[in-house]
Amino acid sequence: MRLRPIILSIPLLWLSACTIGPEYSRPDVVLPDRFTEAGGTWQTAQPDAYTVPEHWWRVFDDAELDRLEARVAIDNQSLRVAEAQYRAARAAVDSARAARLPEVTGTASASRGRAQGESVNNHGSLSASAGWEVDLWGRVRRTIETAQARAESSADDLASARLSIQALLAQTWFQLRATDLQHQLLQRTLDADTRFLQLTRDRHSAGVASGLDIAQADTQLGNVRAQLSEIELQRAQLSHALTVLLGGKETQFATATALPPVPALPELLPSTVLQRRPDIASAERLAAAANAQIGLARTAYFPVLDLGANGGFGASVLNQLFSASGRFWSLGPGLAMALFDGGARHAAVEQARAGYDQAVATYRQTVLTAFQEIEDNLAAARLLRQEASEQTLTLAAARRARAYAEDQYRAGTISSLNVISTQTAELAAEINLTSIQIRQLTASVVLLKNTGGLPATPDPALVNASQRQSG
């Protein structure tokens, strides 16, 4: 008779292989098989034919950038946030998996009391109980599946955060170097304008130049000084941004003398390279989690089977606590099911379906946006290269014009306004060339970020460093 509850539950245990809910498959996204902005060097490539190294920033051949990138992977606080979120997601998986095993609890109690007119009564007990949910309809499995997909998404989020921080660091560093070059350019211009102002004053003393010439030269000099102050402000702000990215560990950064070369465009770039982007992988895993949520919501329509057992000892005299007369136990299954809930279960299923549709749309939009970003930066890299070539010719012409104007001014054939005009044009041309070069570098960084990606595995150094700090 004691085995009857167990025997009766055996057919139900066979049903535990069932899993309620739709099976998941990766949502389809219609994309072209090539990038239209890849230029004339385009070649069709297999998905594994194009790879970007994990340390993608090394293509810029900048030793200081290499050093800063190594630091940001450890010291950046946003990465620590993402890493902690990943560890929390992994812990949620372990918590969900724990439901596959029985839960065992133990209790011990002792009491002493007396009712009116009765003698004092003592009572002690020691017991243990165990409970286990038979996963008939896959509720536990769907919960684990949801947690696992979210943990994988969190790992991809960590990889995406790391990639974004690395790209932001590279862009900020290049912008800082560009401000150094512009500062040096403006300082040279300031020196030249100071000499020109002195020349104009000398000519005015000789009766050749007018007071208007002096005022114009002085105005030009003041404009350059104002631009120098603006560039110094920009460098200070970029330095502060780098300090924050590096976790406040560095506040001083070396002055640059040149920008690194712009890397060449890739010749092999299949559209399937998007599969390597961690933000896309994260969105796909969230769609998988949302699909599992539908099955989890639908299990509420079915009964929950629990197998429970408890036993122990109880007695009014402590030395008789473990005697046979004080022993008790119980064993048996329990079945529970909601008979009426006012439509709550139906609403939960519909909510889960809507969440899945939202996750699928988000995934598809993430893929399309990524495709657009690569196209945009392929076009930027190609067209900015042409623009830089044209601007280089423009700068050379502006330098010749300024030299001619200064010679003619010394000869007294033109006014100082003509010289100032050519000086302004030369300065603008050189600043524009530096701006184009920094835009080229920025486009290259973003292109490498968008096509490279990093594996969805947290950096052990980051995890260990964070755990040491939290410990």
Q: Show me where the domains of the chain are located.
A: 31-100+137-300+351-470
Taking alpha carbons only, the member of 239, 59, 181 closest to residue 437 is 181
pLDDT of 389 reads 92
Q: At what angle do helices 63-75 and 460-470 cross, to 10 degrees?
A: 50
Dist CA 230 CA 227 (whole Å): 5
Q: Are 310 and 330 in contact (CB under 8 A)?
A: yes
Taking alpha carbons only, the member of 180, 95, 182 closest to residue 140 is 95
Quick one: tokens of 288? Answer: 């998988």
Beta bridge partners of 310: 129, 330
Dist CA 379 CA 36 (whole Å): 9
Within its chain, how far is the Cα of 127 from the centroid?
51
In sign, the C-alpha dihedral spanning 318, 322, 323, 325 is positive
**How far is it between the farthest Cα atoms of the chain?**
130
pLDDT of 250 reads 83
pLDDT of 335 reads 81
Does domain 31-100+137-300+351-470 correspond to CATH entry 3.40.50.300?
no
Dist CA 328 CA 65 (whole Å): 72
Dist CA 80 CA 246 (whole Å): 12
pLDDT of 11 reads 52
Dist CA 146 CA 141 (whole Å): 9
Helix, strand counts (H, E) of the chain: 9, 4
The tens-digit pLDDT sequence of the chain (471 residues) is 344 544 444 454 444 457 788 888 888 887 776 677 765 444 443 444 444 457 888 888 889 999 999 999 889 999 999 999 999 999 999 999 888 888 888 888 777 777 666 777 777 777 888 888 888 888 889 999 999 999 999 998 998 899 899 999 999 999 999 999 999 988 988 888 888 888 889 888 888 888 888 898 899 889 989 999 999 999 999 999 999 999 988 888 888 888 888 877 665 455 666 766 888 889 999 999 999 999 999 988 888 888 888 887 776 666 666 666 677 778 888 888 888 888 998 999 999 999 999 999 999 999 888 888 888 888 888 889 899 999 999 999 999 999 999 899 888 888 887 888 888 888 889 889 988 999 999 888 888 887 754 333 333 443 344 344 444
Burial of 295 (0-12, 13-18, 19+ CB in 10 A): buried
